Structure 1
């Protein structure tokens, strides 16, 4: 029988040895972030205690294809209202954020969620130029997120306030502590303090770090893997400097990736990890490996 730690994972699950590439949530493109001090339900759609308007907005967002997150400041629990709300879009190069403080959560009913899902700023609030750094601390969903995420959120808040918020489940509990950088939807996992600081500093420069990078939200996992390996091969780190033009097939997947005026064909395969948590691990986890990477000539772009 495999021994489990207090988070419910195998020993070593937070050692940093487990590959976490190509594991960002593939469905999140539009975002709705609503301040709520907690307690948070196990699933946000169940509705948190407090104004019914927040529960209604969360459910409406899910129905519209927008990812809802409850957020709060690390170490602070102000009541409701007022409520800080952000909406944003993280797919492609035209990313954006809007922010607004609501005197009454019922104002959420005025938000055009269809526009958010389509990537169009709804003019619900003022444009937000600064990034948002979301650290998952959703202990009711998974104890690891509170155990590893909450201390990291407090630590990052000391250095990067007011960018930092605690948030509900972002996906990939086994990679706690998880960090999501908006507006681009860049995911990092299994972070310690030093790794998190380096990741944030890179994002503030408009770059990504490959170490502990899970991927970018809104893209299929094979596309995330293709981008990761082309970045590794080329050394290009700009957040939007690498574009996955297409992905085809089943594992192994064939992708076309563009970096500036260079075009690459890459083949990636999904494989099972060997003892991802150490000897005797019973978790069936997968990752991606490169099978081929070829530089095509510029004519391939035509």
Structure 2
């Protein structure tokens, strides 16, 4: 098979016009492990760590529904010295907590289990992750690496390459943590502007996949308000009520500034036809998408 007839899920999604909004996976806790060697297709699960250490980290993360991602710096050559690890917590109060450590042997990673039981410190800068996990999906490497390179040049202390974050067809995918904000369909030209705006407290709808503390339908409702009223800070909107009636939904969202306002966003769910949603997915699968039918102040 040549590159001209090879299937690329991100190209297919663009041609279909797949919607980004509402596609961020749920999550509030993340474990990051710097790993400079080759990444297995299944990430952390495929690492050849000491079995007892690997089991402990996995069980501690599973207990709090934490996502484990492998990371590495974008710069070449890779930095020397101990690897780093982090446990990041998102709190709905707006507090972003982080705890960082280092490791040189497998046994050092046991500290992650302890860190998952503590909230971590405040006041540290955010982490910007770019999925470049080509062994999981080729689109993540082809589209992610140019984005990682340009963002790493702009913010070398914030940006890391990472393993699979979900939504291969939306590559290049960028996740800002512990904010829990997913962006998709970025390229080298758009990525710097999107992250620059995010770091300035202005989240835009154009490349937004969603906030990880919200359900998909809620993510779509917030994105609709950002699209209608313009960029806003991460916690400018709060979902206060969600009601379902069959395929129809009503999501009430409160805007806190410049003056308190509530909106009811109504949406209708539908299931798409079966598509190949990843480059390697052998069986086409449908996806659930939400169409906004109205936005009205309450």
Q: TM-score, normalised by structure 1?
A: 0.82
How big is the alpha-carbon RMSD for the aligned residues of Structure 1 and Structure 2?
A: 3.0
1:46 is aligned to: 45
Give matches, 1:121-140, under 5 Å. 121=119, 123=120, 127=122, 129-140=124-135
Unaligned runs of 5+ in 1: 297-302
2:18 is aligned to: 18
Mapped to 2, the partners of 1:59 and 1:39 lie a distance apart of 20
Give the superposition deviation at 1:233: 2.7
Contact 1:133 1:180 in 2 (8 A): yes
Greater Cα shift, 265-274 or 75-84: 75-84
Contact 1:64 1:114 in 2 (8 A): no
Offset from partner CA, 1:138-167 (integer Å, 9 cap, x none): 111111111111221112111111111010
Among 161, 166, 176, the alignment partner of 2:161 is 166
For residues 176 and 253 of structure 1, do their structure 2 counterparts lie closer, same or farther at Cα, with a shift above 3 Å needed? same
Give the superposition deviation at 1:23: 0.4
Mapped to 1, the partners of 2:80 and 2:49 lie a distance apart of 8
1:94 is aligned to: 95
2:58 is aligned to: 59
For residues 274 and 48 of structure 1, do their structure 2 counterparts lie closer, same or farther at Cα, with a shift above 3 Å needed? closer
Mapped to 2, the partners of 1:163 and 1:53 lie a distance apart of 31
Contact 2:205 2:224 in 1 (8 A): no
Give the superposition deviation at 1:44: 2.8
Give matches, 1:1-302, under 5 Å. 6=6, 8-9=8-9, 11-14=11-14, 17-26=17-26, 28-50=27-49, 52=51, 55-56=54-55, 58-60=57-59, 61-76=61-76, 78=78, 82-92=82-92, 93-112=94-113, 115=116, 121=119, 123=120, 127=122, 129-249=124-244, 250-260=246-256, 261-272=260-271, 284-296=286-298
Secondary structure of 2:146's match? Answer: helix
Mapped to 2, the partners of 1:7 and 1:62 lie a distance apart of 34
For residues 50 and 14 of structure 1, do their structure 2 counterparts lie closer, same or farther at Cα, with a shift above 3 Å needed? farther
Mapped to 2, the partners of 1:233 and 1:165 lie a distance apart of 32
Mapped to 2, the partners of 1:96 and 1:22 lie a distance apart of 25
Mapped to 2, the partners of 1:53 and 1:20 lie a distance apart of 39
Q: TM-score, normalised by structure 2?
A: 0.83
For residues 82 and 46 of structure 1, do their structure 2 counterparts lie closer, same or farther at Cα, with a shift above 3 Å needed? same
Secondary structure of 2:9's match? Answer: coil
Mapped to 2, the partners of 1:113 and 1:232 lie a distance apart of 41
Unaligned runs of 5+ in 2: 277-283
Structure 1's consecutive aligned runs of 4 or more residues displaced over 6 angstroms after TM superposition are 274-277
